[in-house]
Chains A and B, each alone.
Chain A
Amino acid sequence: MSAFIDVATRGTRSSAAVPVTARLRSAGVWIVAAVAILITVIATMLMTSDRGTDAPLHYDSTSRDGTKAMVETLRDQGVDVTTTEDFDTAHKAAGQPDTSLLIPTQAETLSQGDIDGFRSELAAEDNRLVLIDPGYAVQEFTDRITVNDSLSPLASPDKISQPDCAVPSAEAAGPVETGDYEYAEARKGTEGLRACYPFAGPGVSQIDGGAVTPGSAHGQLIVDQGGGGKGDFPVTVLGNSTWATNAGIDEEGHASLVLSELSQTDHLVVYYPTESADSESAPSTLDYVPSWFIAGAVWLVPCIIVLLLIIGRRFGPLAVERLPVIVPAVETVHGRAALAARSHDRTGALHTLRTGALLRIAKRLALGPEAGLTDIIVGISNSTGRDPAQIESVFSSAVPHTDSDLANIVHLLTLIESEVS
C-alpha cells in the first residue's frame, strides 16, 4: 500500500551537554527556595536570640531592666563571673572556694531541694550568697533575715535613703534610691548582722504586732556574716533591684554599692533561675512506652519522607496534546430555545413548527410549491379523514395562550403529521 511509504522525520539527540544557562534556569526555583529558607532561618535565629535576653534583671539583657552592664563591669574589674540559667552548673560553681553566688531574681521559684543544695555547697566553703530584693523568699535561704513587716502602714519614706550604718561599702557609696521593701533581722540582736539604708521620713515608725520585734536592725541593705555555726554562710540582701539594672546603676551611689558588694570574692556565679527548670510534671502515658518503640515510631518519619520522594517523582513531564478547534453547534439551538422560553414566545415557536410540518406534508402529498395552505389542509383531511375545521385550527388559527395550550396543539400537530401517508 502506498499509504505505508515512510516519509518520517527522524529526530536525534546527541549527547552534548545542556548549556549552563538552561540548567541554571531549571534549577532557579530550587536556588530561590534555598535562599528563601536560609534567610528565614537566619532571621528567626536573630529574632529569637534578641527575644531571649528581654527577661528582667537577666545577665544578658541590654534592655533598661537588664543587668548586663553590671556583669560586664565586674568582668572588667577582674572578677571571674560565671553566668548560667542551669541549676547544675550554678550548683557546681557555687561550691568552689572564694566564690559569691548572686541570684538576681525569681528566688521564690526555686524548690526546697534546690535551695538546700545551694545552702550545703555555700556552707561547705563559707561562700557568700547575694540576693537582690528576694521578698519573703529570703527566709528559705536563711532564718536570720526576714522582710520587715513591723513598719507603720502610714509611713511615706523619702525618695533617697542615707547609709546610716558602719558597713564600709555603704558608707563609700553614700545615698541611694529607696525601694519598696525593707529587710530586718529575724531575732533582735543577731550577732554579725548589719543593716543599712533604713526607711526615713514622715510617718516612718516601727509598730508592734509583726514577726519582727520593734528595735531590731532593719534596712534595705542587710550584710550578714553568718552565725559561725555549721550550715551557716554569709548572706547579703540588696533590697532594691533598681540599684543593679542597666538603667539605674549609674544613679546615686548604686554602682559603688553593688559593685563593691559583688567584687569581694574573686569568683562570682550569677544564677538566673528559670521556672521550667525543675518543674516535674506528672508522668504521662508516653513514659510507660518503651523507648525502643518510640525510636522505631519516630524513625518512620524519614521512611515516609523517602516514600513520598519516591512516589512524588514524576517520570518526565506530562505529555502535551495539541487540541484542534471544535465549535459546539447544537448549543446555539439550545440557547435560542431558552431565550424563546424565557420570553414566552409561544406563537413564534408554534409558527415555526407549523411551517416545518406543512412543508413536509406537502412534500409527502406530492403537492407542488405553488400549493397554498387551504390546498394542504384539504389534502390532509382527505388523507387522514379528520375534520378540516380541526386541521385548520391546529395548523393555522389556534392561538396558544398558555404553555399547556401550546403542548396540546403541538401534540395534535405531531399526531396528524404522523397520520398523513
Chain B
Amino acid sequence: MTTRLLLLTLLGIIPVMLMPGFTSALIVAGIIVLLALVDFFLTPPPRLASLQRTPGPMVRLGDPTHSTLTVVNDSPRRLRLAVRDAWSPSAGAKSTRSRLDLAPEENTQVVTQLLPVRRGALHGDKVTIRSRSVVGLIARQKSFDVPAIVRVLPPFISRRELPSKTQKLRELDGRSAVMIRGMGTEFDSLRDYVDGDDVRSIDWRASARAQDLVVKTWRPERDRRVVIVVDSSRLAARRCGDGTVFDAALESALLLTALASGAGDRVDVVVADARIRAIASSHRSKDPVHDLSVALTTVHPELYDADWEQISSTVLATSRQHALVVLVTALDEGSVSDEILPVLPTLLARHRVVLASVEDPGLRELAARRDGTDEIFTAAAAESELLTSKSLQTRLRGAGVQSVEAGPDDLPGALADLYINLKATGKL
C-alpha cells in the first residue's frame, strides 16, 4: 500500500460517478485489485538487499557517534527501497529513514547519526526494508536483525576537576621547598638554596662540599597501591539527582584512578555485587582511565545484595602489600552493620580502608522544608535518615575507617581531596 494506490483509488471515482451502479463499481474495484496484485509480483522482495551494519567509534556519554548501514544490491534487479535503521530510543538516532535507488550490483552506505543519552552497550534494533516497483502501488516490507552494538562510556564529567587536583598533588612534590618533612616522604635530590626555602632542609654536609648552600628536596611516596571497590548492588540503583548513585560512584572511581595513576600509584578497580562484575587495573596500562571506562561500560546495578565476604577476599587477593582500599557504597544501616563491619577487621589488618558514599541531595532539601504539618513529618523522616548515616560514620570512625559522604556532583572531588590528604600525611 502506498500513496499511489490511494491516488489510483481516488481516480477510480471518475468512472464510478460517470456510470453509477454496483456492477461498474465492482469492475473498477476489480481492476484496481488486479493492478495491485500485478504490481505486488513485479516488486522485488526486500530480502534481495544484503545488509551490513558497522557501528561507529565508542564515545563518552554526551558525545556524538554514528552507525553505518551498508546496503548491497546483489540481485540483477533494480531496487527502490525505503530503509529504516532502527536504534533503541536511548541511542538518540536523529533520522532513521532514508530512500535508496540501487542499480544491480550497486551498493550504498547509510550513515545514521547517534547522540546516545545513556551509558552502556546500546543495541541496534531491526533494519526494516520497504521495496517498491516502478509503478509503486504496493510496497513489500520486511524487518531483519542486523546485530550491532555501540559502546557508550561513562561521561567522566569530573575530569574537569583533574587539573586542579593534580596541581594540588604536585605541590606536595619536592620541587616546592615549603614541603613538610615527615612520614610518607622520601629523599628526592639536592639543589641550590633559594630565598624562602625552609632552613631546616639545608643539607649542611653537601653545602660544605659545594661551598654554597644546598637543600635537600623531598617528594611524596610513589608506587603505592589503591584498590577501589564500587558497589553495584541494589543500593547503587537508587535514583539520585539526574542519574543513579552508581553513576556518581563511577565518576568518583574514574577521577581517583586518573589522579592516583598520574601520581605513580597502582590502581585496581573492582565492581561487585553478589558476584564480581568487572575488574580493571592501571598496571601496565597506557591509559588507565580509558581502560577502566571500557570495563565499566556494560555494568549496570542489579537488584542483588552485595556479598562483602567475597569482595573482601577479592581485595585481599588483588593486593598483598599495604593498600588504600576505597569502598564506594551506601551508608545503609542494615548493610553496613550486618555486612561491612564484620569483614572490616580482615581488611584493616593489612590495608587502610576508606568508605565513600553518595548522599541524596533531595534529603537535605526535604529536611529544610518545614511549612505545614505534612512537611514537618517529612522533614523529620529525612532528618532521621541523615542522623542515621552520621551515626554510621561515627561508628566506622570508631572501627578505624575514614568516610566521605557528599552529593553526587561533589563526591569525586571530595574523595580526591581525601586521597591527597592521605598522600600528604604519608598514610598510604
Contacts and interface: CB of A to CB of B under 8 A. Distances in A.
Interface string A1-40: 0111111111111110110000000000000000000000
B58 A5 contact: yes
Interface in A325-339: 325-330, 333-334, 336-338
A356 B387 contact: yes
A341 interface: yes
Interface string B224-241: 000000000011011110
The residue in A12, A403, A406 that gathers the most chain B C-beta atoms within 10 A of its C-beta is A12
B88 A321 contact: yes
Nearest to B57: A4
A329 B52 contact: no
A359 B390 contact: yes
B57 A352 contact: no
A324 B302 CA distance: 8
Given A325-B302, A355-B387, A356-B383, A302 B126 contact: no
Interface string B116-139: 001010011111101000000000
Interface stretch (A49-57, A243-251, A306-314): A306-314
Q: Which of A309, A324, A348 has the most CB of B within 10 A?
A: A324
B58 A299 contact: no
B145 A13 contact: yes
A291 interface: yes
A403 B373 contact: yes
B52 A2 contact: no
Given A12-B53, A295-B21, A337-B374, A310 B234 contact: no
A349 interface: yes
A308 to B, nearest CB: 9
A259 interface: no
A358 to B, nearest CB: 11
B380 A5 contact: no
A17 B47 contact: yes
Contact of B10 (A303, A316, A352): A303
B363 A333 contact: yes
Query: Interface majority SS on B: helix, strand, loop or mixed?
Result: mixed
A298 interface: yes
Nearest to A303: B9
Contacts of A8: 54-58, 148-150
Interface in B361-402: 362-363, 366-367, 370, 372-374, 376-387, 390
A295 B24 CA distance: 10
Nearest to A329: B238
Given A18-B47, A319-B87, A349-B377, A356 B16 contact: no
B354 interface: no
B5 to A, nearest CB: 6
A7 to B, nearest CB: 6
Given A2-B290, A306-B6, A14 B50 contact: yes
Nearest to B70: A12
Interface in A354-393: 355-356, 359
A348 B149 contact: no
Contact of A324 (B5, B52, B127, B300): B300
29 contacts: A2-B287, A3-B60, A8-B54, A8-B57, A9-B148, A11-B146, A11-B148, A13-B127, A14-B50, A292-B17, A294-B20, A306-B1, A306-B6, A307-B6, A309-B1, A310-B3, A310-B6, A315-B97, A315-B130, A322-B88, A324-B118, A329-B360, A333-B385, A337-B380, A355-B387, A356-B386, A356-B387, A410-B379, A411-B370
